[in-house]
């Protein structure tokens, strides 16, 4: 799959499903993936933040990616998150994910400590040299304290396999800044749900989404409306969606997304410790958000999505 052609639209950051003993449930995760594809999403992110990457062993991550590639059967691109502690571990995982057929890697800065810019660039460069699989750089400074600035991205422009960036900083100006520095060299992705309209309006061609796990048809419809300049139709949908999209910006976004998935029967809410279940007050808050969302769920404009399953 050519990323310039296929890395477009909504790519849910798929949740990893667990059994009651917190072991990975590949069969249940495959069902989540099938449901998302049936609802018309454009791609899949496996083992991202929402997929609890840092709570998984390398063997578990490889098994999840292999299952996702097999389940997708080429219908949509499958991109794996890469969030390792060292460049050597990151390179090893990149080679394993490539071996099992992943279409791309979403690479985060080295975890644990906030690196200097030259350390971050060296980390990305080392991993890019380990495989010929296309790479999306993932920037999320609010969560991980290392900021991949537009100038740093420009410094990676001569590495052919680095093809895209996902920005979760919330600063939508960065899409314009990167474009001004590098032209169309990188494929821009929105990475924060509650600024997606703004990001797409400014040129993002993809959206790595948390809450599109819960409302995938609404997410893909919103993206297509904005992409096509149909703002009069997009704004009411965005207004309806916003309380749900805000959940993607919380520190406990993984628990929130999984709880909402369970609310709609799309998965379980089990997360691996140290992520613990939401408390009663937090669950009541999300119950109220979901109850209102379902009571006011809008009819979706026609955007070419396949018929609902």
Report mean pLDDT in 10-residue bins for the chain, 309 residues. 94 98 98 98 98 97 98 98 96 98 97 89 97 97 92 98 97 98 98 98 98 98 98 98 97 97 98 97 98 98 87
For residues 3 and 213, give the distance between their C-alpha atoms in angstroms, rounded to a whole number: 22
For residues 170 and 191, give the distance between their C-alpha atoms in angstroms, rounded to a whole number: 8
For residues 173 and 290, give the distance between their C-alpha atoms in angstroms, rounded to a whole number: 31
Secondary structure of residue 55 in the 3-state scheme? helix
Q: What is the pLDDT of residue 36?
A: 98
What's the pTM?
0.97
Q: What is the pLDDT of residue 144?
A: 85
Q: What is the pLDDT of residue 111?
A: 82
Q: What is the pLDDT of residue 309?
A: 63
- Return all residues near 76 (Cβ < 8 A) that are at least 6 apart: 37, 41, 42, 43, 44
Q: What is the pLDDT of residue 306?
A: 86
Closest by CA position to 78, among listed 61, 97, 103, 49: 103
Q: What is the pLDDT of residue 77?
A: 98
For residues 296 and 302, give the distance between their C-alpha atoms in angstroms, rounded to a whole number: 18
Helix and strand element counts for the chain (H, E): 13, 8
Domains in the chain (CATH in brackets) are 3-245 (3.20.20.70)
For residues 23 and 222, give the distance between their C-alpha atoms in angstroms, rounded to a whole number: 35
Q: What is the pLDDT of residue 281?
A: 98
């Amino acid at each position: 799959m050519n990323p310039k052609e296929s890395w477009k639209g909504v790519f849910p950051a798929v949740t990893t499903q667990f059994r009651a003993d917190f072991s990975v449930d590949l069969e249940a995760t495959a069902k989540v993936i099938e449901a998302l594809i049936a609802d018309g999403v454009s791609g899949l992110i496996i083992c991202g933040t929402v997929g609890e990457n840092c709570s998984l062993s390398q063997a578990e991550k490889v098994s999840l990616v292999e299952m996702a590639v097999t389940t997708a059967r080429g219908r949509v691109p499958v991109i794996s998150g890469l969030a390792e502690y060292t460049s050597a571990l990151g390179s090893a995982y990149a080679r394993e994910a490539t071996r099992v057929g992943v279409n791309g890697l979403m690479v985060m800065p080295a975890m644990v400590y906030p690196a200097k810019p030259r350390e971050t660039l060296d980390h990305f460069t080392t991993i890019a040299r380990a495989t010929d699989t296309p790479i999306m750089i993932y920037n999320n400074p609010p969560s991980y304290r290392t900021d991949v600035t537009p100038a740093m991205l420009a410094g990676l422009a001569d590495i052919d396999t680095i093809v895209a960036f996902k920005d979760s900083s919330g600063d939508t100006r960065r899409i314009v800044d990167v474009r001004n520095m590098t032209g169309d060299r990188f494929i821009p992705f929105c990475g924060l749900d509650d600024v997606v309209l703004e990001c797409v309006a400014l040129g993002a061609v993809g959206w790595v989404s948390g809450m599109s796990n819960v409302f995938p048809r609404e997410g893909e419809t919103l993206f297509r409306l904005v992409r096509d300049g149909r703002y009069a139709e997009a704004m009411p949908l965005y207004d309806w969606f916003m309380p749900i999209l805000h959940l993607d910006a919380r520190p406990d976004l993984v628990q929130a997304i999984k709880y909402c998935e369970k609310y709609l029967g799309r998965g379980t809410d089990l997360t691996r410790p140290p992520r613990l279940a939401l408390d009663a007050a937090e669950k009541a808050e999300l119950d109220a958000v979901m109850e209102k969302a379902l009571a006011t769920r809008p009819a979706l404009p026609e955007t070419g999505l396949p018929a609902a399953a």
